[in-house]
Chain A
Amino acid sequence: MLIYALVLYLILGTLIAIYAMRRVVSEEEYYIAGRKLGGVVSALTYAATTYSAFMMVGLVGLSYSSGVGALGFELFYLVGTIMLLSYYAPKIWKLGKEKGLVTPGDLLKIRYGDLSAKILPVLIAIALIPYTSLQIISISLLLSKEIGFETGIAISTFVIAFWAFLGGMRSVAWTDAIFGVFMLLMAISAVLFATTLLPSSDFSKLGDLLYVPNSFWRIEVFIAYTLPWFFFALTNPQVVQRIFVPRDEASLKRMVILFGLFGLIYTVLVTFLGLQLRLLTELGNFPKITDRDLVTPKFLEIMPKELSVAIALSIFAAAITTANSIVLTLASMFSRDVIKRRSVLVGRAFVVAITIAIALFAIQRPAYVVDLAVMSSTILLCQLPLIFGVFHSKRGGDVSAIATLLAGFTSAILLYYTKATFGIPIGVWVLLISFAAFFFVSTIEKRFKVETS
């Protein structure tokens, strides 16, 4: 049955992609849908890009094993995103329209010059290709009983490349919109099904899982989880690029508010599902799961077949909607910012090349893939001083920008492997080091320029 559902999913998505392809007449059309998307589609593509397979697999398991702190962690992210978008999105959108910005690198280019925009895609690829591979690995493992692991990898990577290749952003956004709604409906169905299994709603049996801090969510752990995600809206290129796509300011506002509403409902549902399953375990109606990533797969096993197939498909769709957005954004950055070939053909070639890289990582599964995937948001924090600098400071040029990116990036990697953090979360270190590098090098750069002039 899963195979039929997958075939139906592939046909529907491909028809949308072929329809979208007819509108691809320019590079701007291919990468950012010609800045012509309405608020609802913009919101749904923003949401589907943001909320990956992590929600229905990772977050359900995290709520199950650690309790209500998982909701706090995810809602801190959401509140931070709404806060940052309500302030920065109108500025970024306006700059994009006035100066013809297409990639997140363009934003740095107008302020710091070409070189930083060339280095940025490389650092982002190091962070996001393993992250995307891990998504593919997760959904392929989930589907492995039905279709086999390698087939899962093959189907998912084909879908990622094919839809983005054909119709670019418009294709990705339309499929995101349809499957985003599907993801939400399936989360509601999962919660309703878990409710029918619960003989009692006495959540007090969960004890310290219902408050923070508890044995898992200590303050420093909460900060370590929350900080990198709090700035996600400014540091993750696939969502920054989505700020360019709404057709006008009213659509941009609708995008932010509707995304917030989607995020709130989805987060509340998914974390509640985790708590429901834990209560079922405490009541003896669901096995105790020690590996939190196996909570959702176990839950799927006890569902009616039709429902479990639909929910598995929604998890597959969640991974694809995130992955193809990342691939398209990376393709736009490599073709426009690194090799400076402004053509749709080159962009499509990069879509294929990046997807092949993701597939190779997913098949070989080297140990460092997991490390880099876990660190992806922490690594991306190194851009924050530069993005704030675009709007709040006149300091710094090319040298400061490159020094900031490299200092933040290397410190994230070194601290992760050496663990020499003195109890301070790595994200805090990366922010401190990146900001310090930015201020220090920009001061020297300014003096040097004054002296030479």
Chain B
Amino acid sequence: MRGFEALIILLAMCVPFIAIKSTDLTTYLYWTLVSALYLIYVALKRW
């Protein structure tokens, strides 16, 4: 289960390399959002 979680978060972090090519702050906001959501997940669910 934890391996699956790790895979999902790592794949989510790689998305900008494949799917985002915009010249605005989309990549910046996407990475920030994914990291924040993962932190919230660990804080609320993992422990």
B residues in contact with A272, CB < 8 Å: 28
Q: Which of B17-31 contact A (CB under 8 A)?
A: 17, 20-28, 31
A residues in contact with B38, CB < 8 Å: 79, 82
Interface mask (A70-100 → B, CB under 8 Å = 1, otherwise 0)? 0110011011001100110000000000000
| B28 near A86: Cβ-Cβ < 8 Å | no
Give A211 to B28 CA distance when docked, in angstroms.
Answer: 8
In-complex Cβ contact of A256 among B2, B9, B13, B42 (8 A): B42
Question: In the complex, how many angstroms separate the beta carbon of B21 from the nearest chain A beta carbon?
Answer: 5
Check: A261 CB closer than 8 A to any chain B CB: yes
Interface mask (A246-269 → B, CB under 8 Å = 1, otherwise 0)? 000000010011001100100010
Give A171 to B20 CA distance when docked, in angstroms.
Answer: 46
> What is the predominant secondary structure among interface residues of chain A facing chain B?
helix
B residues in contact with A213, CB < 8 Å: 17
Taking A72-B16, A86-B46, A212-B17 as contacts, is the C-beta distance between A79 and B27 under 8 angstroms? no
B residues in contact with A271, CB < 8 Å: 28
| A72 near B39: Cβ-Cβ < 8 Å | no
Give A87 to B9 CA distance when docked, in angstroms.
Answer: 15
A residues in contact with B27, CB < 8 Å: 68, 72, 210-212
A residues in contact with B10, CB < 8 Å: 79
In-complex Cβ contact of A211 among B20, B39, B47 (8 A): B20
| A203 near B24: Cβ-Cβ < 8 Å | yes
Taking A203-B24, A210-B25 as contacts, is the C-beta distance between A79 and B13 under 8 angstroms? yes
Looking at A68, A71, A275, which has the most chain B CB atoms within 10 Å of its CB? A68
In-complex Cβ contact of B42 among A71, A204, A207, A257 (8 A): A257
Check: A208 CB closer than 8 A to any chain B CB: yes
A residues in contact with B21, CB < 8 Å: 211
B residues in contact with A206, CB < 8 Å: 23
Nearest to A63 among chain B residues (CB) is B28
Taking A76-B13, A86-B47, A257-B39 as contacts, is the C-beta distance between A71 and B24 under 8 angstroms? no
B residues in contact with A75, CB < 8 Å: 13, 31-32, 34-35
Nearest to B46 among chain A residues (CB) is A86
Check: A339 CB closer than 8 A to any chain B CB: no
Nearest to B25 among chain A residues (CB) is A203
In-complex Cβ contact of B28 among A87, A204, A210, A261 (8 A): A210
Taking A86-B42, A256-B42, A260-B39 as contacts, is the C-beta distance between A79 and B20 under 8 angstroms? no
Taking A211-B16, A257-B43, A260-B39 as contacts, is the C-beta distance between A204 and B23 under 8 angstroms? yes
Check: A219 CB closer than 8 A to any chain B CB: yes
Interface mask (A225-263 → B, CB under 8 Å = 1, otherwise 0)? 000000000000000000000000000010011001100
Give A79 to B5 CA distance when docked, in angstroms.
Answer: 12
| B42 near A210: Cβ-Cβ < 8 Å | no
Give A272 to B20 CA distance when docked, in angstroms.
Answer: 18
Nearest to B42 among chain A residues (CB) is A86
* Minimum-distance CB pairs A-B, first 5: A260-B39, A257-B43, A204-B23, A75-B35, A68-B27
Residues of A at under 8 Å CB distance from B?
68, 71-72, 75-76, 78-79, 82-83, 86-87, 203-204, 206-208, 210-213, 219, 222, 253, 256-257, 260-261, 264, 268, 271-272, 275
A/B interface sample: 12 pairs, CB < 8 A: A68-B28, A68-B31, A71-B28, A75-B35, A82-B38, A86-B46, A86-B47, A203-B23, A206-B23, A210-B25, A211-B22, A264-B36
Residues of B at under 8 Å CB distance from A?
2, 5-6, 9-10, 13, 16-17, 20-28, 31-32, 34-36, 38-39, 42-43, 46-47
Known: A71-B28, A212-B17, A256-B42. 11 other contacts (CB 8 A): A72-B27, A75-B31, A75-B32, A76-B13, A79-B9, A79-B13, A82-B39, A204-B24, A207-B23, A210-B28, A257-B43
